[in-house]
Amino acid sequence: MRQTFFLAGRILLGGYYLMGAFHHFADVGKMAGLAGAHGVPMPEVAVVVAGILLAVAGLSLLLGIYPAVGVAAVALFLVPVTLSMHAFWADHNPMMRQMDIINFGKNVALLGSSLMFLVIPRPWAYSVEEHIHLPIRARVV
């Protein structure tokens, strides 16, 4: 039963990251405009790189393949995005400040939930690694 719940969590979180990746690729212009307005250099490139990181994270966690790579992709995406795009402390508009506080907190929680995957022994049940016996360098205890 626990394995089924763990799989459901992987599907939900991995799907969330994949949906974000799709949104980044489908709306590059719109998202680049928003990123540029927040002072992100080379916003089009940044949006595409962010989409790639989200896709890697989503596929990794969803499929249960090299989760450390997926978690690294999540961290590489969330840390700079959270600090640059949701800098609530710099907002003067109370509505924008509230939105950014919510998104900042959400991103911190997403990062925390992703970090927890690093301590789950591998290979995971219902994972690609379980079926193709990929090399696992070290188990986390």
Tens of pLDDT, residue by residue over 11-69, are 999 999 999 999 999 999 999 999 999 999 999 999 999 999 999 999 999 999 999 99
Contact 59, 8 (CB under 8 A): no
What pLDDT shows up at residue 47? Answer: 98
CA dist., res. 41 & res. 49, Å (int): 12
Name the band, by pLDDT with cuts 50, 70 and 90, for residue 138.
low
pTM for this structure? 0.90
Contact 63, 123 (CB under 8 A): no
Tell me: the pLDDT tens digits for 64-111?
999 999 999 999 999 999 999 999 999 999 999 999 999 999 999 999
DSSP letter (8 states) at residue 42: S
Q: Is the dihedral of CA 3, 67, 119, 109 positive or negative?
A: negative
Phi, psi of 114 (to 5 degrees): -70, -40
Tokens 């394995």, located at residue: 3
Tokens of 37: 């307005």
Return the closest-CA partner of residue 100 out of 92, 109, 91: 91
